[in-house]
């Protein structure tokens, strides 16, 4: 069964949530009322975040957490696994280590997206080797904790390497990644990078462990030109049984997201 989640944020606001960090409780209530199974939580760091309380609020609303979105630390704290300075790489690993501990408590994945950005001109092969090495302690810790790390395929305008489903599989093979390393496939990025949605799903196979839904213009699904129903059907027919998570801009409006998310989930579940 495919689970549904949407982006909410714990402390710093994000363009990808219809609720601010201060409105987290309303956001959780909205998810529950709209028929979502879980939240996807943006967490920069754990200062001022009480995990026991967060877990209690999720439980209260009958929600899980699908993945911890970690990218805020790129802009806010300048973190990256591929920074030139060893100290920054170490701090990034430590931050991911905290995320992995919390993910084990929330039974969620941990996302690695913007945290694999590099400011150096690396060839694809160099990039893949360096990323594999930088991630290694996190992969081992995650394995011990029963946590899956999902590496997000990001389009060429946002990231130097690993754009397409094929790139992601090349990286997993080169790094001999264990099964707890998977791929986050975001259909907004895939629309730019993958030749064909169904073929990309097929290429990723069992490594596909999390999916972001937004339309071609990053608006709420249905307000751009992506074949949302076909993509969902292809996921379902492939046996995909992880989450489809709404990660779109508040476009055409915040109200659209708030009002139309429930009907969208009902519609997709019926396909
Ligand atoms: C994050 O999931 C994402 O898709 C990025 O484009 C955000 O910068
Ligand atoms: Mn995404």
Residue among 16, 70, 80, 245 whose CB has most ligand 1 atoms within 8 A, to mutate? 16
Residue 9 near ligand 1, beta carbon < 6 Å: no
Q: What is the pLDDT tens value at each position of the chain, 271 positions in all?
A: 999 999 999 999 999 999 999 999 999 999 999 999 999 999 999 999 999 999 999 999 999 999 999 999 999 999 999 999 999 999 999 999 999 999 999 999 999 999 999 999 999 999 999 999 999 999 999 999 999 999 999 999 999 999 999 999 999 999 999 999 999 999 999 999 999 999 999 999 999 999 999 999 999 999 999 999 999 999 999 999 999 999 999 999 999 999 999 999 999 999 9
Which candidate, 78, 65, 1, places its Cα nearest to that of 31?
Answer: 65
CA distance 57 to 28: 8
Residue 90 near ligand 1, beta carbon < 6 Å: no
CA distances 203 to 10, 11, 125, Å, are: 34, 36, 20
Phi, psi dihedral angles at 40 (to 5 degrees)? -105, 120
Q: What range defines the domain where residue 231 resides?
A: 3-269
Residue with tokens 């394995």: 143
Residue 212 Cα to ligand 2 midpoint, Å, equals 5
Q: How many domains does one find in the chain?
A: 1
Of all atoms in ligand 1, which is nearest to the CA of residue 114? 8
Proximal ligand: closest to the CA of 156:
1
Residue 111 Cα to ligand 2 midpoint, Å, equals 10
- The CATH number of whichever domain residue 259 belongs to comes to 3.20.20.150
Residue 127 Cα to ligand 1 midpoint, Å, equals 19
pTM greater than the 0.95 cutoff = yes
Residue 156 near ligand 1, beta carbon < 6 Å: no
Burial class from Cβ neighbours inside 10 Å (0-12, 13-18, 19+) for residue 174 reads middle
Residue 116 near ligand 1, beta carbon < 6 Å: no
Burial class from Cβ neighbours inside 10 Å (0-12, 13-18, 19+) for residue 146 reads exposed
End-to-end CA separation in angstroms for the chain: 12
């Amino acid at each position: 069964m495919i689970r549904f989640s949407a982006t909410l944020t714990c402390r710093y606001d994000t363009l990808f949530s219809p609720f601010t960090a201060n409105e987290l409780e309303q956001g959780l209530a909205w998810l529950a009322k709209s028929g979502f199974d879980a939240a996807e939580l943006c967490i920069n760091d754990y200062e001022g975040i009480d995990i026991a309380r967060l877990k209690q609020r999720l439980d209260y609303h009958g929600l899980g957490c699908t993945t911890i979105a970690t990218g805020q630390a790129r802009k806010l704290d300048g973190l990256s696994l591929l920074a030139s300075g060893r100290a920054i790489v170490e701090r990034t690993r430590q931050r991911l280590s905290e995320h992995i501990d919390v993910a084990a408590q929330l039974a969620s994945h941990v996302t690695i997206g913007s945290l694999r950005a590099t400011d150096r001109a690396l060839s694809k092969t160099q990039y893949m080797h360096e990323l594999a090495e930088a991630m290694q302690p996190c992969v081992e810790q995650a394995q011990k904790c029963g946590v899956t790390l999902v590496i997000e395929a990001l389009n060429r305008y946002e990231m130097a390497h690993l754009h397409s489903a094929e790139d992601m599989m090349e990286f997993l093979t080169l790094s001999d990644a264990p099964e707890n390393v998977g791929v986050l496939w975001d259909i907004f990025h895939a629309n730019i990078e993958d030749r064909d949605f169904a073929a990309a799903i097929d290429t990723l196979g069992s490594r596909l462990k999390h999916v972001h839904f937004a339309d071609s213009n990053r608006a709420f699904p249905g307000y751009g030109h992506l074949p949302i129903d076909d993509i969902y059907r292809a996921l379902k027919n492939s046996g995909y049984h992880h989450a489809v998570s709404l990660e779109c801009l508040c476009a055409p409006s915040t109200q659209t997201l708030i009002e139309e998310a429930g009907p969208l989930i009902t519609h997709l579940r019926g396909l």
